[in-house]
Every structure is written in C-alpha cells, then in structure tokens.
Amino acid sequence: MARIIDKEEKRCDIARASIELFCDKGIQQTSIDEIAKSAGVAKGTVYLYFKNKEEIIFTIWDIIAQNHRDTFQKRVKEEMSAKEKILDFYNFSECDKEENKEQILKLYQHFVSSMLIDKTGLYTAYFESFFQEDYDFITNTLKEGMAKGEFYVDNIDILAYTIIMLLKGALVRAKASNMDFYEAQNTLTQHIKYLLDQCTRTEP
C-alpha cells in the first residue's frame, strides 16, 4: 500500500532542509536545484509545494515563529508583570542547539539583506505582516500592565513600534558587529529593558 504523504509535513520538511543552504550561501545565491538536492527530492517536487524560493523562506519563518509562540505560551505565567512578559517574548532560548541559534540569527540577517534589494515587495509585505503579531502582543501587554497599575505609558502605539524597530535594528547591528547569538540576545534584552524603563513612569 502506498504511503499517504502529509502535504504540510512534506512542505515543512523541504523548507527545513534548505535552512543550512540559505545560511551558508545566502538567499539570492541559493538555487531551487540545490534546495531539491538538500531535501532529497526532484526539482519538480519543490515546485509542487512552493511557487517560488520566497515561499520557502516565508515557510521557514512561519515554522520558527510558531515554535517560538508555542514555547512562550508554555513559559509565560499569569503572575508575571507586563514588563517580564515582553522581555520573555523576546527570549529565544528555545533554540537549544548552538548551531540552531546561530542559524536563526544568520537566516534573519540574510532575510533583511534580501528585503533591502527586493523589487517585488514580497519580502517587505511578509516582514510587516510578521511583525504585526509582535505589535498586537506588545500593545495588549502594555494595556494589561497599565490596567494593573504596573506602569503608565504616554503613547502605547509609539512605544510598541519603537520596540519593534529596536528589534530590527539590533539584529542588523549584530551582523555589522559580527555578534554571535548570545551577544545578540543579550544586547536585545538590555535595550528593550532600558527602553521600557525609560518610556514608562509611575503615576504622579
């Protein structure tokens, strides 16, 4: 009897198999032929699951983001303050293998590089939709903190967008300064903590 193939599982398998290629060669320099070889499938099979290389990249980030959200939901506790929740939301320690940590950092940096030269708008559109979930989480958590009297924020919208801009900038800086994953994580945490401390105030 022929084995029934789970299409979503196969799609994810092909995407995961291309991560190392993208990290080592960059997104623009990686071909569909190489992705097919790495995944152990024919080139036509790759196109059976993905329209183009961009869809593969976006699927990788969907997988990483979902894993992070699931892990965060297991870590977060009701008694945590809003500030603690936001800091923990940007804690990526679930990447438990050293090579995975470095791969994710490299992959993000390659993604940003591709977005900057992209003329189709695909990367920008995905990037913004990707961070919309971050924005929703931050704004809701800040409102929760204000409702509990933990702190008071003059403009939640600006603070939420500033945190997201900080994340984007910190990871670009990590590439420019040749930081490893741990250095990038510590830098990001320190800056978000400082921003929350400076942009919040106790009620007069």
Domain assignment present for residue 105? The answer is yes
Q: In this structure, are residues 88 and 72 in contact, taking their beta carbons and an 8 Å threshold? A: yes
Q: Whole-angstrom Cα distance, residue 91 to residue 110?
A: 21
Please report, for the domain that includes residue 106, its CATH number.
Answer: 1.10.357.10
Predicted confidence at residue 178, as pLDDT, reads 81
DSSP, collapsed to helix, strand or coil, labels residue 152 as strand
For the chain, the domain total comes to: 1
Could you tell me the two tokens for 172? 């670009």
The structure tokens listed for 99 are 């090579």
63 falls within a domain: yes
Question: Has residue 17 been placed in a domain?
Answer: no
Q: Domain limits at 170?
A: 53-198
Token code pair at residue 57: 């990249």
Residue 14 covered by a domain: no
- Residue 142 domain flag: yes
Per-residue pLDDT of 153-199, as tens digits, reads: 888 999 999 998 888 787 777 777 888 888 888 888 998 998 888 77
Distance CA 109, CA 122 (A): 16
Give the model's pLDDT for residue 5. 58
Q: What is the dihedral of CA 38, 97, 134, 28, to 10 degrees?
A: -30
Q: How does pLDDT run across 49-100, given as a tens digit for each residue? A: 999 999 999 999 899 888 888 999 999 988 899 999 999 999 987 776 655 7
- Contact (Cβ atoms closer than 8 angstroms) between residue 95 and residue 104: yes
Mean pLDDT for all residues in the chain: 85
**What pTM, to 2 d.p., does this model score?**
0.82
Confidence band (pLDDT; 50, 70, 90) for 202?
A: low
**Nearest Cα to 82, choosing from 21, 152, 155, 17?**
152
| CB 47, CB 33: distance < 8 Å | no
190 falls within a domain: yes
Query: CA–CA separation, 123 vs 127, rounded Å?
Result: 6
* 113 falls within a domain: yes
CB 45 within 8 A of CB 33: no
